[in-house]
Amino acid sequence: MGIIIAIDGPAGSGKSSTAKEVARRLGFTYIDTGAMYRSVTLEIIRRKIDICDEDQIEKIARESRIQFQWIGDKHHILLNGEDISDEIRSADVASLVSPVSAIAGVRKILAERQRQMAQDDNIVMEGRDIGTNVFPDADFKFYMDADIRVRAERRIKDYQSIGQELTVVEIVRELEKRDKIDSSRLHSPLKKADDAIIIDTTNLSFEEQVEKIVKIIQQ
Ligand code: DC
């Protein structure tokens, strides 16, 4: 097992972009676990599976082949060989991903794959339960958070980049709903690990967020 850096926190806290850059600077492998839950959710939407049909949903999670690939400086996600990087960022996927990721069987399957991914690599893994559940013994744990309005404003740009125009109010509503489900679910909810370092990014620039984490690791 290599060095494991766990970064958890809610959507829009800056964790994806920061984790990616920290991994690049340290030469570590970057793993976006939210993208894995989103990929399973996309497949459920495409196959029109009922959200209550947990057996079918678990089957999809078990059968879906999720891979990450860097093409230039863009991080791509492949589902059964198809590039679905943009599609998993849609508002439709965002609105269904929290209920899907609350299913115990889905979490078990994906957490196991996440542990396997870290077998022989140094990794930066980001998500909701990395420091609490996937790698409770991670070498470094960070918990990123920010004011909800700032988080929503960051998300607006993400939606614009895939051609979806949402208002701040709509995104605040989406984030509040997701935060509530993610942090109150029974199985490995979103929660700061007791030994995680909190990084509040409300007033931090991207560069400052990255620097803060890299400095702690290099010390
Ligand atoms: O980070 P994100 O917005 O792409 O994550 C999408 C959803 O996936 C999030 O609302 C909850 C779920 N998720 C999870 O339950 N556990 C993780 N480790 C990562 C994401």
Distance 37 CA to ligand 1 centre (A): 6
Mutation test residue for ligand 1: of 75, 135, 177, 182, the one with most atoms within 8 Å of CB: 182
- Tell if the pTM clears 0.85, that is, is over it: yes
Question: Which atom of ligand 1 has the smallest separation from the CA of 35?
Answer: 4
The H or E element spanning position 200 is strand 197-200
Whose Cα sits closest to atom 18 in ligand 1?
Answer: 127
Distance 128 CA to ligand 1 centre (A): 6
Where are the chain's structural domains? 4-213
SS3 labels along the chain: CCCEEEEECCCCCCHHHHHHHHHHHHCCEEEEHHHHHHHHHHHHHHCCCCCCCHHHHHHHHHHCCEEEEEECCEEEEEECCEECCCHHHCHHHHHHHHHHHCCHHHHHHHHHHHHHHCCCCCEEEEECCHHHHHCCCCCEEEEEECCHHHHHHHHHHHHHHCCCCCCHHHHHHHHHHHHHHHHHCCCCCCCCCCCCEEEECCCCCHHHHHHHHHHHHHC
Distance 137 CA to ligand 1 centre (A): 20
**Amino acid at position 115, single letter:** R
Q: Which two tokens stand for residue 160?
A: 């614009």
Per-residue pLDDT of the chain (219 residues; tens, 9 = 90+): 899 999 999 998 999 999 999 999 999 999 999 999 999 999 999 999 999 999 999 999 999 999 999 998 899 999 999 999 999 999 999 999 999 999 999 999 999 999 999 888 999 999 999 999 999 999 999 999 999 999 999 999 889 999 999 999 999 999 999 999 999 999 999 999 999 999 999 999 999 999 999 999 998
Looking at the DSSP bridge assignments, the partners of residue 100 are none
Pick the CATH number of 4-213 from 3.20.20.70, 3.40.50.300, 3.90.960.10, 1.10.3720.10: 3.40.50.300
Distance CA 52, CA 179 (A): 20
